[in-house]
Amino acid sequence: MTNSNRLRTAFLAKQNHLLAALEIVPDLTGHGTTIGDDYEANWARVLREFLPARYGIAKGQVMDSQGGISDQIDLLIYDAQYTPLLARTANGDLFVPAEAVYAAFEVKQEMNKQFMEYAGSKIASVRELHRTSVEVPFAAGTYPPKPPIPILGGLLTTRNGWADLEGEAAVQAVLSLSGSRQVDIGCALRGVAFNRRNENTADTPEYSEPDMTLMFFLVRLFGRLQEVGAVAAVDVDAYMSALDLGDEPGS
C-alpha cells in the first residue's frame, strides 16, 4: 500500500468512526437538545484531534471590549496560546474575546438552504463585534498592531440536503450569503464538503468527492487557518476599562 493510500485509509476510518458516533445519537435519545449537544461534542473531538494545540475548540459566546456579545455558537476555533479567556460557565461553555476567534461553526443534522442562512446569521453575530489590536514587543523593538484576521464561518452536518451537489441549488445556497453572513466552508459527512475561496464573486465553490468529505474539510480548514497566521494581540486595557477593573470599590 502506498503512503497516499495509507493516508486515505486513515481519513476514511476517522470519517466512518465519526459517522457511527453521530448516527447512533438519535437511536439513544429523542431529546433534541441532547442530540444537538452530542453532535457538537463529536465534531469538537475530531477538530481537537486534528488541529494543533494552539487552536482551542469550544462551544460558547464571543464578547468584545465594548460590551457586545454574539449569539451562542456551536463550535468556536480560538487562539489558545496568547489570548486570555474571559470566563467559563458551569457547563463548560466559554466567553471568548472577539480578538481570539479564528472560526465560528454551526452544527446541524442536514446541510440545506435554511440551515445555511441560519449559520450565516450566527456567524455574522461574531464578525460584527469590535476587535482591538496592539503592538507586540520583541527583543529588538515592537511589531506594529496587526489588523484583525478574517473570521472563517462554517456549517457542519451529517447529511446533505442538496440533490445536485455541484448544481445550481448548492451553489446558490452558498453564494447567496455575503459580507458578514458569508459561509466559507462546510462539511456534510454523508454527502459533500465545500470550500468557498472568494467573497462577492460568482465563482463556484470547490466541492469534495462524496467519499472524502471529512479529509477534504479538515485539510482545507487547516490550510485556511495557516494562511491567516496568528490572531491580533488583544488590548487588555480596553477590556479592563469596559469592566471598570481599574476603579476603586465604591468610586
Catalytic residue numbers, as ranges: 74, 106, 108
Three-state DSSP class for 20?
helix
User: What region does 112 belong to: left with phi over 0, alpha with psi -120 to 50, or beta?
Assistant: beta
Nine-digit cell string for 130: 469590535
Show the beta-strand stretches assigned E in 11-72. Answer: 55-63
Residues forming a β-bridge with 95: 61, 87
Query: What is the 8-class DSSP label of residue 177?
Result: -
Q: C-alpha cell of 49?
A: 484531534
- Alpha helices by DSSP H, listed for 93-250, are 113-127, 168-175, 213-228, 236-243
**Residue tagged 452536518 (cell numbers):** 157
Distance CA 31, CA 119 (A): 22
Contact 47, 154 (CB under 8 A): no
Would you report the helix, strand and coil content of the chain in percent, each value rounded to 5?
Answer: 40, 25, 35
